[in-house]
């Protein structure tokens, strides 16, 4: 995007009267004062200094929303044309900041406390206890290692997705049918998938996949009995839903390659396998890297299937970090410890993704 100056140059005459500007400032600061006032009264109410005005924090929320609206309106009133431009970005920014930054700060406070939602004591600040507990929690480290395995499975998914995209891009009939059919798994909810495939089709006695395996001579298949096999099964189910995603991104990349390039390669005698490795694949590198990075981001959120099919078992072999924290909360309703685990996970993710993106950047730069 343009780093200097607007792409859209407009010179407009703004004659903002002093009165209008004053009114703009007044509503912004007035609503802000109201917000502070309401929040203050509510805080005093919870401390028991005065009688509480409501049994929840809704009034503060309403005051906050009012302030946000006044802030947006004030921009236009005070700054005229420039304010109208800010108005494009301001609502989204306010929304994200209030929905992410505040909860994250709040989460930091929770992370350093012992807070069992079902106990009457409420929040107890406990310093680094949660960190110590986390350090000694073999299940958390196990979940983190599992995430590495799950992430590595993306390479296999990528290979399959690339193959399918190549096939869809070749001269075939009924391309539309195949495209829709291949896309469908992505549309299905992971919860339904975990029932349809995980519970029903993999049922040991009469699930069609187990029967099929028995037909071809594999006996005693227990998909979720053995840790490695259970992890592989989860990977396969997750891959089933998300391969279409990578496939479509790669397909779009393939279609963007000009036909002339491949024709030129063919004329030069690079056909089939060599043509792919020396022409198509390098050209597809940027798209591939984008697809893989986005897929990694989605993979790191993996939880629904695990929660519903194995709930982490056997012995934590299939646990992802998210499903582990989910159970940590469900079983012990320990908000403090769970939040600490999540925060540590976030830090690890941010570091890992930054490193990956830096590496990808270096990779994507053409090397002539």
Q: Which of residues 335-364 bind another protein (CB under 8 A)?
A: 335, 338-339, 342-343, 345-346, 349-350, 353
Binding mask 167-196 toward another protein (x if CB under 8 A, else -) reads xx-x-x---xxxxxxxxxxxxxxxxxx-xx
Pick the stretch among 28-36, 56-64, 261-269, 273-281 that binds another protein (CB under 8 A).
56-64
DSSP 116: B
Binding mask 58-97 toward another protein (x if CB under 8 A, else -) reads x--x-------------------x--xxxxxx-xxx-xx-
Q: Which position among 112, 158, 223, 326 is part of the footprint of another protein (CB under 8 A)? A: 326
Q: Which is nearer to another protein, 229 or 257 (CB)?
A: 257
| Dihedral of alpha carbons 38, 42, 44, 48, sign | positive
Quick check: bond before 314 cis, omega within 30?
A: yes
Kindly state the smallest distance separating residue 232's Cβ from another protein, in Å: 16
- Phi, psi values for residue 57, rounded to 5°: -95, 15
Binding mask 261-300 toward another protein (x if CB under 8 A, else -) reads -------------------------xx--xx--x--x--x
Q: Which of residues 125-144 bind another protein (CB under 8 A)?
A: none
| 367: contact with another protein by CB under 8 A | no
d(CA 326, CA 336): 13
3-state SS class at 125 = strand
d(CA 330, CA 338): 10
Q: Which position among 104, 148, 218, 351 is part of the footprint of another protein (CB under 8 A)? A: 104
| 245: contact with another protein by CB under 8 A | yes
Q: How many degrees, rounded to 5, is the angle at CA 125 between CA 119 and CA 130?
A: 90
| 4: contact with another protein by CB under 8 A | yes
d(CA 102, CA 60): 14
- Concatenating the DSSP letter of every residue in 318-368 gives T--HHHHHHHHHHHH-BHHHHHHHHHHHHHHHHHHHHHHHHHHHHHHS---
Q: Which of residues 196-225 bind another protein (CB under 8 A)?
A: 196-197, 199-201, 205-208, 211
Kindly state the smallest distance separating residue 117's Cβ from another protein, in Å: 8
Q: What is the CA radius of gyration of the chain?
A: 28
Q: Which of residues 5-44 bind another protein (CB under 8 A)?
A: 5-10
d(CA 146, CA 302): 11
Q: Which is nearer to another protein, 36 or 297 (CB)?
A: 297
Kindly state the smallest distance separating residue 40's Cβ from another protein, in Å: 16
């Amino acid at each position: 995007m343009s780093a200097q100056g607007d792409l859209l140059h407009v010179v407009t005459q703004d004659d903002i009267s002093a009165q209008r500007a004053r009114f703009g400032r007044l509503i912004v600061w007035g609503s802000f004062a109201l917000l502070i006032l309401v929040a203050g009264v509510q805080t005093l109410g919870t401390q028991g200094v005065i009688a509480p005005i409501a049994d929840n924090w809704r009034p503060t929320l309403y005051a906050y929303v009012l302030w946000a609206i006044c802030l947006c309106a004030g921009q236009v009133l005070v700054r005229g044309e420039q304010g109208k431009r800010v108005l494009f970005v301001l609502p989204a920014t306010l929304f994200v900041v209030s929905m992410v930054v505040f909860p994250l700060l709040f989460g930091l406070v929770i992370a350093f406390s012992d807070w069992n939602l079902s106990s009457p004591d409420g929040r107890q600040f406990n310093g680094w206890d949660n960190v110590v507990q986390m350090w000694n929690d073999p299940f958390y480290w196990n979940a983190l290692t599992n995430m590495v395995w799950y992430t590595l499975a993306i390479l296999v998914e990528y290979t399959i997705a690339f193959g399918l995209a190549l096939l869809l891009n070749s001269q075939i009939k009924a391309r539309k049918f195949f495209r829709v059919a291949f896309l469908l798994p992505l549309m299905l909810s992971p919860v339904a998938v975990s029932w349809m495939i995980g519970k029903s089709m993999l049922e040991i006695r009469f699930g069609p996949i187990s029967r099929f395996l028995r037909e071809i001579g594999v006996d005693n298949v227990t998909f979720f009995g053995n840790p490695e096999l259970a992890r592989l099964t989860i990977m396969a189910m997750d891959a089933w839903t998300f391969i279409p995603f990578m496939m479509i991104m790669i397909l779009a990349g393939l279609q963007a390659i000009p036909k002339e390039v491949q024709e030129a390669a063919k004329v030069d005698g690079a056909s089939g396998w060599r043509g792919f490795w020396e022409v198509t694949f390098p050209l597809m590198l940027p798209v591939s890297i984008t697809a893989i990075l986005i897929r990694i981001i989605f993979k790191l959120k993996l939880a629904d299937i695990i929660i519903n099919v194995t709930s982490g078992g056997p012995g934590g072999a299939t646990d992802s970090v998210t499903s582990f924290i989910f159970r940590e909360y469900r079983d012990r309703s320990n908000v403090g410890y769970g939040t600490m685990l999540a925060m540590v996970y976030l830090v690890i993710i941010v570091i890992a993704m930054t490193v990956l993106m830096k590496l990808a950047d270096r990779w994507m730069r053409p090397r002539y």
